[in-house]
Structure 1
């Protein structure tokens, strides 16, 4: 069972929910927010293994290249450009599709590999943890996310997705059997939640909503869930104690009050997602 935890926007508490639910469900934790993987800050697993993520990029042999420009014309990602009779390569824009090598009639193009990021594997409290880390300055996170998710366990896997609704999130959702959408009771939270809802509906993924920083009132998120007949998994109250624990980098599940809360949320998750 692969459960994706996502949010329409950043800062809603997606990683807070992911890390604590992983403990409550005794699931594997996979941090796919590779541009800012914060889950390990709270879980603090012991890193047991690290793997490099490599991607291919074209290498131009100047002795064979005639600067005909066919490789430039076929590249959909603008990774190649013809400048003053010379072919320039912007390797970080290359998606490694291989089209340029195919159209080159002079065998002037071959492929090399470079490091895009890495993946770390660790363990804490009998929970397997993994995260992807994109190298600074790299614009493409998808290859790291794919590598991170390619050999998922058949146990329960909780996938901490990137924020938003970009291709990074879509890549992670392809592996999901169910999803949890984390939001906050604000106009911005509702606006971006609607986009996330449309995304999971597009892929026909069962989902429910958790409201973080809940004010205890009949707020706009609760009204939206009723109107759209969306399952509300539960809420996390907006209080000082939660904020203090979070700011100290402590795991909420270690606090008895929050343990009870996340144990209840985990039960609701199983009900809403038709646990199988």
Structure 2
């Protein structure tokens, strides 16, 4: 089973839950937050494999191109523009769809490849770990996420990007169940609702984990009751947890925190029908 861990907003503790639950479930850890992949800071795997992620982009043959502008007209991503008598390519906007090459009446367009990121794989604590890393200044994370997940098997914990953008959607496609991590605040609840609608759209079984829980009947708990959403568990708000996290230490190594994540893993198996 593949479980996606996501959040409506950043800073809820999604990676904390992902890394520690991966250890509790003995599941492979996949970090899809390719713009800021922090999971390896905690699990510290030994990287044994590194692969480049390449994307295609069009190249104009000036000897064949008559600047007719057909390629500019059909480009849905505004990666091409006609300026005076020149065709200009905005390389990082190109999605490599190939439409410009198809419509070119003079066969003036070919495609080449360039690197936008990489995939790192290794092992830590008897679980396989992999992550995607998007190169600095690159705007499109989806090709890296797709490459990271294309050979995905089962028993994986997928640490999704924050938010509910297309980056999250592309990671969620591979999930059989989802855990939504939130915090008991108005902002947290607002973005949690968007994440709930997203997983409902894909008809994926899901439950909620509240991080930094205040121990009270807060607004998130009330929301779960009202919407009949399973509350998988809570992680108490404490200075001790913050100290462990700030040092880059795995909470699961601490007996007090281990009990929380063992309980979360058992509840998640029930809610998500883990197999």
Alignment TM-score, normalising by the size of structure 1: 0.99
1:232 to 2:226 alignment: no
Q: Deviations over 1:161-219 (max 9, x none)?
A: 00000000000000000000000000000000000000000000000000000000000
1:160 is displaced (CA, Å) by: 0.1
Q: How far apart in 2 are the matches of 1:124 and 1:201?
A: 33
- Figure out how many residues of one structure are paired with residues of the other and give that number: 275
Q: Deviations over 1:6-61 (max 9, x none)?
A: 00000000000000000000000000000000000000000000000000000001
Q: How far apart in 2 are the matches of 1:204 and 1:117?
A: 31
Q: How far apart in 1 are the matches of 2:223 and 2:273?
A: 22
1:275 is displaced (CA, Å) by: 1.7
Which residue number corresponds to residue 20 of structure 1?
20
Q: Deviations over 1:129-181 (max 9, x none)?
A: 00000000000000000000001123x10000000000000000000000000
Task: Give matches, 1:156-167, under 5 Å.
Answer: 156-167=155-166
Which residue number corresponds to residue 201 of structure 1?
200
Q: Deviations over 1:98-146 (max 9, x none)?
A: 0000000101000000001000001011100000000000000000000
Task: Give matches, 1:133-152, under 5 Å.
Answer: 133-152=133-152
Which residue number corresponds to residue 33 of structure 2?
33
1:65 to 2:79 alignment: no
Task: Give matches, 1:54-203, under 5 Å.
Answer: 54-154=54-154, 156-203=155-202
SS at match of 1:212: strand
SS at match of 2:82: strand
User: Structure 1, unaligned stretches of length 5 or more?
Assistant: none
Q: How far apart in 2 are the matches of 1:231 and 1:34?
A: 29
SS at match of 2:21: helix
Which residue number corresponds to residue 267 of structure 1?
266
Which residue number corresponds to residue 52 of structure 2?
52
SS at match of 1:265: helix
Q: How far apart in 2 are the matches of 1:88 and 1:239?
A: 55
1:218 to 2:220 alignment: no
1:220 is displaced (CA, Å) by: 0.2
Moved over 2 A (4+): none
SS at match of 1:234: strand
Task: Give matches, 1:237-248, under 5 Å.
Answer: 237-248=236-247
Q: CA RMSD in A?
A: 0.4
Q: How far apart in 2 are the matches of 1:52 and 1:186?
A: 40
SS at match of 2:262: helix
